[in-house]
Structure 1
């Protein structure tokens, strides 16, 4: 793993930097969205749910801005080599970020349904660890993009497998609750949806670091064994 050399052709440096900045702003926004959505589930805070739903539209707008900036860069400057990889990777990363925003929206909607059905509801499982791990993956992937440095890629890819295992554990736990007390089925299913959305956030964070590897090294690792590390022994 390595870092990419900074672009040296000055005329469109500003446009490239603006593109990266838009993607990073979008990344920070979706991080906050996931945090607020899960916090809303934990506390039953309708205001947090409302904020997530309202902000989702602005994330879609950021995705549109990335697309427009990318098209303008290509049309005006015909970038090649590393510059073209930066544009194409930024486009793909923004799509994954937009989908993370969608997952945050799904979490908020599940939270709304949970607390409308039972205002005194208390989650039967602990979501903090899977939330913390997926957000750490996302933050590290965005940091790698900001620094044009993929040195942490293998660690992030391994964390994705860990998140998958966490989701399976949560699913088993919730199935047990439902079997022991059928009255918990509707609540437990909503928590399954929340946990699944968090697992998908991890999947999208994994996609981001794969794009950073492509950007930095020119290698597409999406379908290689490298992108599917074995779980820790």
Structure 2
């Protein structure tokens, strides 16, 4: 299946409705991606105003989720879609939940950034935050790009990247825990950074979830809780 498969219905109105859902989903994803980037910048640049803006914008993401949900319900009621169209609706419905939760994690990062602006910067953890933050932002971008192009192979690459995020998160957490035990004076500030890293790790999980839904939409294969080896076989058609 590819993007063009969604444009061949007898009803042009149905085509327009499906395309509108895709457009709104990608617009929501674009705002979520920006929120994550801005939250990270607010932390690294000690920009309290930017942190507040990220927190305020979270309501926009919530509203976008609600509107897309409403449109999906209308399509289900009016069109009773089957096969690939139904998979698309299911995948988008689940994916907007993950996008909304990524937005929530971005707002949390912004709150920790604001706290660190007020309390004073943490002596450790910003290098790890910058590195893991760049990785998860790239995951979001590549997931949305894969969705726009109906690219299951790229979605699978995003899934695999989540494993690297998990490893780096655990390594950074151990290092910061050790630092806090050695110098308790900065426990509160370092804890805030640890929570930021936890938010970034969860963002990676949500990007993986969206990629799983894209593979389901394109290939019709449920790859949740499935090993990479089995997924590769499904994508190549050998399973």
Please report the TM-score for the alignment, with normalisation by the length of structure 2.
0.90
2:39 to 32, 37, 40: 37
| Gaps in structure 2 of 5+ consecutive residues | 232-239
Q: Does the Cα contact within 8 Å between 2:88 and 2:217 map onto a contact in 1?
A: yes
Shift of 1:153: 2.8
2:26: which partner in 1?
Answer: 24
2:172: which partner in 1?
Answer: 170
Deviations 1:169-220 (A, max 9, x none): 1101111210110011101110010000001110000001100000001110
Q: Aligned pairs, how many?
A: 226
Q: Map of 1:78-117 to 2, 5 A cutoff?
A: 78-117=80-119
| Gaps in structure 1 of 5+ consecutive residues | none
Deviations 1:35-75 (A, max 9, x none): 11111111110111111011000000000011001001111
Distance 1:123 1:17 in 2: 48
Please report the TM-score for the alignment, with normalisation by the length of structure 1.
0.93
Distance 1:64 1:4 in 2: 24
List 4+ stretches of structure 1 deviating above 6 A. none
2:63: which partner in 1?
Answer: 61
Distance 2:100 2:199 in 1: 13
Distance 2:100 2:83 in 1: 26
Indicate whether 1:192 and 2:191 are aligned.
Answer: no
Indicate whether 1:13 and 2:15 are aligned.
Answer: yes
Distance 1:212 1:157 in 2: 11
SS class of match (1:79): coil
Shift of 1:144: 1.1
The alignment yields a C-alpha RMSD, in angstroms, of 1.6
1:213 to 212, 215, 232: 215
